[in-house]
Amino acid sequence: MAIYRYTVYKSPNIGIFVKANDSIILVPYGFAETKTEKLADYLQVSEVYTSIAGTRLLGPMTVMNNNGMLLPPIASDEEVQMLKRSSHLNVERVKSKFTAIGNLIATNDNGAIVSPLFKGETDRQVQDVLGVLTNSMTVGGFVQAGSMIVATNGGAGIHPKATEDEVKEISEILQVPAEPVTVNGGVPFLSSGIVANMKSVVVGNLTSGPELIMLSRIFKA
């Protein structure tokens, strides 16, 4: 397993534009084929070109593990059908008013942490589509659980303002070791700068040496 620095659209915020599990990586339509191939090679996955609600903001717009994928209510029928065909996953639109659902739900194959903003409305869908139970909590005083946590089935990185009790609870819910960390030279909103699976970790190119060491330890990279 390895860890790589990378940019997408010359941005270190790679997690805004791409999303991966252990089998596929979602990349925006029109993204350079050579760069897509390199990302897919790093993570040892197949590439799937898509848009979500006509945008290239795939990270904030999707929640995905190895069982399924949740999309915002504004995703089109064509996008849903294409992703079902290409990903071979359970794919459904969330029955909610929220669109940036990737910022509100963190998941792996063991559990999901959802924002209190949902008030329980997504629990059944998360269980049916992603195959995991939900736990509602804030992290470090923030309601955007998906922005605060990046998790694989091997480890979880958490916003540095998370309390010791929150770190312990997140570790228990996701059933992996969890630690606070930053990315891209001090950015605490981890999902913006990390794309990870059980094979590799790709981070924004501004990620510092000490951050790389921490991330390698967390994700066993």
Residue 97 has φ and ψ, to the nearest 5°, of -80, -15
pLDDT at 202: 98
- Are 74 and 51 within 8 A, CB to CB? no
Counting residues of the chain whose pLDDT is more than 70, the rounded percentage is 100
Counting residues of the chain whose pLDDT is more than 90, the rounded percentage is 98
Superfamily designation of domain 2-219: L-arginine/glycine Amidinotransferase; Chain A (3.75.10.10)
Residue 155 has pLDDT above 80, yes or no: yes
pLDDT at 87: 96
Each residue's pLDDT tens digit, 107-143:
999 999 999 999 989 999 999 999 999 999 999 999 9
Give the DSSP letter string of 11-72. Answer: BS-GGGT-EE-SSEEEEETT--HHHHHHHHHHHT-EEEEE-BTTBS-HHHH-EE-SSEEEE-
Each residue's pLDDT tens digit, 168-177:
999 999 999 9
157, β-bridge pairs: 150, 179
Q: Cα(178)–Cα(181) distance, rounded to whole angstroms?
A: 10
Task: Report residue 1's pLDDT band, with 50, 70 and 90 as the boundaries.
Answer: confident
Residue 221 has pLDDT above 90, yes or no: no
Evaluate the CA torsion angle 26, 207, 115, 109 in order and state its sign: positive
Which amino acid is present at 176? V
Q: Which of 184, 180, 181 is nearest to 207 (CA)?
A: 184
- Are 168 and 145 within 8 A, CB to CB? no
The pTM for the full model equals 0.96
Q: What does pLDDT average to over the chain? A: 97
Domain range list for the chain = 2-219
Residue 29 has pLDDT above 80, yes or no: yes
Q: Which of 62, 63, 64, 19 is nearest to 40 (CA)?
A: 19
Each residue's pLDDT tens digit, 187-218:
999 999 999 999 999 999 999 999 999 999 99
Q: Write out the H or E segment, with its range, that includes residue 151.
A: strand 149-151
115, β-bridge pairs: none
Say which residue the tokens 């084929």 belong to. 33
Strand-pair category, 178-180 with 156-158: parallel
Evaluate the CA torsion angle 180, 3, 34, 206 in order and state its sign: positive
Q: Cα(114)–Cα(123) distance, rounded to whole angstroms?
A: 9
Section 52-74 average pLDDT: 98
Section 53-60 average pLDDT: 97
